[in-house]
Amino acid sequence: MTEIVSLDPYFDDEDPGNFIVRPSAHINHPYSLSILSNDNNIYHFQICQISNKYTLEPFETADLLTRERFSSLSLFLEYYSTNPIKFNDNNDKKHSIILQLYSIIEITRL
């Protein structure tokens, strides 16, 4: 069964670099990454796990121009919060997006 996830509520403030990481149904691609670009399009990528290393793979027709490997998902996100994900879209338009990390506020129930 395929679960459809609407990303619109997560990108309401329209800041380029906003992203969401979500579980994937694929064994070799444990996570999916969706990123809001400067032109207000949302691009989707697969986060692959190969030999216990995480790397970024295109989900649709985007052509990645850079590819790094990381020992943890945290290191993956930290790297791409200071180094851009560079890719060409299906129209051969070049994109360069830096993930926007925000402080996490812990919320507890009273």
By C-alpha distance, which of 95, 79, 101 is closest to 37? 95
| Residue 2 located in a structural domain | no
Q: What is the pTM for the complete model shown? A: 0.74
Express as a percent the part of the chain with pLDDT over 70: 72
Taking the C-alpha atoms of residue 43 and residue 49, their distance in angstroms, rounded to an integer, is 20
The pLDDT of residue 1: 33
The pLDDT of residue 28: 75
Taking the C-alpha atoms of residue 102 and residue 95, their distance in angstroms, rounded to an integer, is 22
Q: Could you give the dihedral angle defined by the CA atoms of residues 31, 37, 42 and 45, in that order, rounded to the nearest 10 degrees?
A: -30
For 66-98, the pLDDT digits (tens) are: 678 899 999 999 999 999 998 888 888 888 999
Taking the C-alpha atoms of residue 61 and residue 53, their distance in angstroms, rounded to an integer, is 23
Domain count, the chain: 1
| Residue 41 located in a structural domain | yes
Taking the C-alpha atoms of residue 67 and residue 59, their distance in angstroms, rounded to an integer, is 14
| Residue 103 located in a structural domain | no
Kindly report the CATH number assigned to the domain that includes residue 56: 3.30.505.10
